[in-house]
């Protein structure tokens, strides 16, 4: 059982750590409560993150509004523009939605 409000990124199997450059297959949100998550990504191969080569996006899910807020991305590493968001409802059904994220603060109804 997963705690209501959890926001969990999922990716495909990889042969090595930076094969997919941190891209996620989907973000899964477990309905039933508000939730927050900080999504961090970098090249995975070196210390460039120390010079700002990373991407950090704060995510907030509002249960009452069924709204996902993504903050303006911090850092200079490219953002993942197309994101699949899966909302796991309290009855176990899953709704899938594709969102386009530009790196600027945005709100999406899921």
pLDDT of residue 15: 66
Closest CA to 44 of 63, 76, 22: 22
pLDDT of residue 17: 59
CB 30 within 8 A of CB 9: no
Q: What is the rounded end-to-end Cα distance, in angstroms, of the chain?
A: 21
Which residues are bridge partners to 99 per DSSP? 83
> Model confidence over 23-68: pLDDT tens digits?
788 999 999 999 999 999 988 888 999 999 999 999 999 999 999 9
How many other CB atoms sit within 10 Å of the CB of residue 5?
Answer: 17
CB 108 within 8 A of CB 59: no
């Amino acid at each position: 059982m997963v705690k209501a409000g959890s926001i969990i990124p999922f990716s495909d199997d990889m042969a090595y750590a930076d094969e997919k450059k941190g891209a996620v297959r989907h973000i899964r949100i477990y309905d039933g409560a508000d939730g927050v998550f900080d999504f961090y990504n970098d090249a995975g191969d070196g210390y460039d993150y120390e010079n700002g080569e990373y991407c950090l996006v704060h995510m907030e899910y509002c249960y009452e509004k069924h709204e996902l807020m993504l903050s303006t991305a911090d850092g200079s590493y490219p953002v993942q523009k197309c994101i699949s968001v899966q909302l796991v409802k309290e009855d176990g059904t899953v709704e899938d939605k594709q969102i386009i994220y530009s790196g600027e603060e945005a709100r999406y109804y899921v």
